[in-house]
Amino acid sequence: MSISDTVDFVTGYMPMLAFGSYIFSLNTAAYQNFNRDTGYTWASIERIGQDAARQFTGPGDDTIDLEGVVYPSFRGGGAQISKLRALAGSGLPQVVIDGIGNVYGRWVVTKITERQSYFAAFGQPRKQEFTISLLRFDGGPSNLLVSILNSADPGGLVSGAQQKLASAKSAASGIL
């Protein structure tokens, strides 16, 4: 770890989570709770004289709730929640990546709750608590990677790999 990395770590510049262009950290909005709920759907098929049969129909909703606090006079400033509201108001899904590099895919904001307390002069809050509710937009990192690779270049890696696979299959069938 370099001196710069150490200074960043000590001063709070290390990211906790990235939601699109917004970085959660000790210097912006630090969350204390990360709650994730993943649902799974099962269709019910009624049967005469028996319990209903169940069939797995795929993943359900996947949600993340981030609960945290901003101390505007300490770090980050009072505009952190407004920045998150502006990003959410864009109506565009955002990529979520945690501080150690795990890609969660694209997510949308469904709700932002803010609670202000300990007011200073002119009604400025000294403490802003928040909860941000996110909902998974797509199928996760694999779909995100494929869409990025496909949109990057029409003859990109995915198309090229698919062509190579087709060539290999035809060559193998010629041998057999």
pLDDT 10s digits, 109-136: 999 999 999 898 888 898 999 999 999 9
Residue 176 has pLDDT above 70, yes or no: no
* 119: enclosing H helix or E strand: strand 103-119
d(CA 110, CA 133): 6
pTM above the 0.75 mark? no
pLDDT 10s digits, 10-22: 555 688 999 999 9
Residue 71 has pLDDT above 70, yes or no: yes
End-to-end alpha carbon distance in the chain: 55
For residue 163, the model assigns a pLDDT of 62
Question: Which domains are present in the chain?
Answer: 3-139 (2.40.30.200), 140-176 (no CATH)
pLDDT 10s digits, 131-145: 999 999 985 555 555
- Mean pLDDT in the chain? 82
Percent of the chain with pLDDT over 90: 55
| Cβ 70 vs Cβ 79: under 8 Å | no
